[in-house]
Amino acid sequence: MLSEYDKKIIASYSMKVVIIATLVLALIVEQWIWIVGSIIGISIGFIPTILKKNIKLTLPWPIELLIASVFGLNMVGTLLNAYSTIPYFIAITQLLFSILVAFFAFAIIYILDEYWDGLKMDKYAMAFLVTVTTMASAVILEYIKYFNIFGRRQTTVEGVLLCLLVSTFGGIVTAAVGVNLIKKGKFDDIAGDLGKQIEDQIIKRNKKI
């Protein structure tokens, strides 16, 4: 059975490899939305290490694995034209993307609630905020796709509605799972390391200023 450290290493390298491959593919096919996303992902994964900054934050391994999965599915959708040939493939990608957004949002809100004096929030309020945030991100993404802002066109209103519905479902399910993990005291096992890093490297530093 893999240790927690092994899971972190596998997830971290999987994320970096998939993001770099996605960036190369996105440049070839000129998918600008994924080019921007890949650059952001590479920045998160590599820049702190390359520049050897004092602030270095590592993402929880489930988030890194979700990032790798989302980028990997997009590569399959683009390279093998799965978006057009496999029914509801885009909905599957959208579902994982919404789960990623919701999980990341829940982790950040939970960390701020636990480690920062400026925010105290009930776990159900967290779930509501996470769901709304996920829905809002889906609306923004569909707006970008529908109006072909970054070179990827959403062709039908039905497709937009399906993606919005899937994103809402993903946000609600992730929020419910997050609340359940908090109740069982297990969410800190996932987000605790990142929370301590943010507390030590950002929150406490700002207090000293």
Most confident of 12-16, 51-55, 177-181, 195-199: 177-181
Residue 52: pLDDT over 70: no
Parse the chain into domains and list their residue ranges.
4-208
pLDDT band at 199 (very low <50, low <70, confident <90, very high): confident
- Look at residues 77, 122, 72, 126 and name the one whose alpha carbon lies nearest to residue 103: 126
Residue 178: pLDDT over 80: yes
- Look at residues 12, 35, 1 and name the one whose alpha carbon lies nearest to residue 144: 35
- C-alpha dist (Å) from residue 45 to 19, 24, 40, 124: 10, 16, 9, 31
Residue 209: pLDDT over 70: no
Residue 73: predicted pLDDT: 86
Dig out the tokens for 178 from the structure.
Answer: 């997050």
Question: Letter for the amino acid at 49?
Answer: T
pLDDT band at 51 (very low <50, low <70, confident <90, very high): very low
Q: If you average pLDDT over residues 177-184, what whole number do you get?
A: 93
| Confidence (pTM) | 0.79
pLDDT one-digit tens code per residue, 9-41: 777 778 778 888 888 887 887 777 778 878 877
pLDDT one-digit tens code per residue, 134-161: 999 999 888 877 776 655 556 677 888 8
Residue 192: predicted pLDDT: 78
pLDDT one-digit tens code per residue, 54-104: 555 677 778 888 888 888 887 788 767 787 888 888 889 899 999 999 999
Check residues 18 and 165 and name the one with the higher pLDDT. Answer: 165
